[in-house]
């Protein structure tokens, strides 16, 4: 951005939330009222971007945690980006491609939709492979004169050029578990998400947005394997152990850390390409509950 004075940084989920109970994260950051949260973030943005000669633009979409649990609509985000394009006429868009959160996925997909329709060059900034720890619901609009120069160094890692074949499809579904510790085979539902994405060759990310449930790939041919995993992890990390966490489910958090919140699988010829004996399991460690599973399918 320093190499392109006048660059515009658009934060998509910068809407001010309605009054609501503070999230644990916001409370730990010292906020007393929900109205203060986004205002403080905008002030930080403005001060930091001023140092780089860049301009902030904040869209009024709500962060998923402040809304109804759903990310903003991809079509709405795309329309907002198109309005900014008409006003700013940039030479290139640097779009985030983080896949760790539905807001990130919707932002990236909307930007790619607009880039394909407008035939504008787009590059990935803050992608998972470049080590960036910044927010991934942001877009960087480089001024037109900058597009005639070489790409700035800060955008070289993870850079892509958008072609008509590239797409990102995101969807979610719910799973109702029936026991406290349970591995539920969700392979068919993930495979259906891949089919609906119409991606021929690519990757599929399955993400569980919970702190007491995870996801893993393991043997699905013999259901006893899943039962063994659940029972032996319960023995390794017993619920009755001495924990300080007052909710009584510290063992569930530890088991979730062991199973992990996400997994990655290849997509070949429009199908989920697991191994012969492999299956994808939702790992429930604090059930029974209704769990959300988020699936992102991206093309190569």
Q: What is the pLDDT of residues 255-264, one digit of tens each?
A: 999 999 999 9
Task: Spell out where 143-270 has E strands.
Answer: 168-176, 182-185, 202-207, 213-219, 262-268
pLDDT at 219: 97
Mean pLDDT of all residues in 194-220: 94
Question: What number is the average pLDDT over the span 250-275?
Answer: 96
pTM over 0.75: no
- C-alpha angle with apex 87: 82 to 92, nearest 5 degrees? 65
Average confidence score pLDDT of the chain: 78
| pLDDT score for 91 | 64
Evaluate if residue 234 carries a pLDDT over 80.
yes
List, in order of start, the domains of the chain with CATH numbers. Answer: 8-155 (3.40.50.10320), 168-299 (2.60.120.460)
pLDDT score, position 56: 86
Q: From residue 201, how far is each of 11, 194, 272, 298 by CA, in Å? A: 30, 10, 10, 8
- pLDDT tens column, 180-205: 999 999 999 999 999 988 889 999 99
pLDDT level of residue 52 (50, 70, 90 thresholds): confident
Q: What are phi and psi of 34, to 5 degrees?
A: -65, -30
- Are residues 172 and 297 in contact, defined by beta-carbon separation less than 8 angstroms? no
Give the gyration radius of the chain's Cα atoms: 21
Confidence class for position 217, pLDDT limits 50, 70, 90: very high
């Amino acid at each position: 951005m320093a190499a392109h004075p006048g660059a515009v940084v658009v934060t998509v989920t910068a809407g001010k939330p309605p009054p609501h109970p503070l999230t644990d994260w916001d409370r730990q950051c010292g906020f007393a009222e929900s109205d203060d949260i986004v205002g403080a973030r905008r002030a930080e943005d403005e001060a930091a971007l001023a140092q780089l000669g860049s301009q902030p633009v904040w869209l009024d979409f709500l962060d998923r945690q402040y809304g109804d649990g759903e990310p903003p609509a991809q079509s709405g985000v795309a329309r907002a980006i198109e309005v900014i394009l008409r006003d700013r006429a940039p030479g290139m868009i640097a779009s985030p491609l983080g896949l760790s959160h539905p807001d990130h996925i919707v932002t990236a997909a909307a930007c790619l939709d607009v880039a394909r329709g407008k035939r504008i060059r787009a590059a990935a900034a803050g992608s998972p492979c470049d080590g960036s720890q910044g927010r991934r619901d942001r877009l960087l609009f480089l001024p037109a004169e900058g597009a005639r120069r070489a790409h700035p160094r800060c955008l070289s890692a993870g850079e892509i050029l958008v072609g008509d074949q590239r797409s990102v499809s995101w969807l979610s579904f719910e799973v109702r578990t029936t026991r406290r510790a349970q591995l539920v085979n969700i392979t068919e539902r993930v495979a259906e998400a891949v089919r609906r994405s119409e991606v021929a060759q690519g990757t599929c990310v399955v993400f569980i947005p919970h702190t007491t449930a995870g996801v893993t790939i393991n043997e699905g041919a013999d259901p006893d394997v899943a039962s063994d995993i659940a029972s032996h992890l319960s023995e390794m990390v017993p619920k009755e152990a001495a924990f300080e966490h007052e909710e009584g489910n510290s063992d569930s958090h530890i088991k979730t850390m062991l199973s992990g919140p996400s997994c990655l699988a290849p997509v070949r010829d429009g199908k989920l390409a697991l191994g012969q004996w492999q299956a994808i399991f939702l790992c429930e460690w604090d059930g029974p509950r209704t769990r959300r599973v988020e699936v992102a399918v991206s093309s190569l």
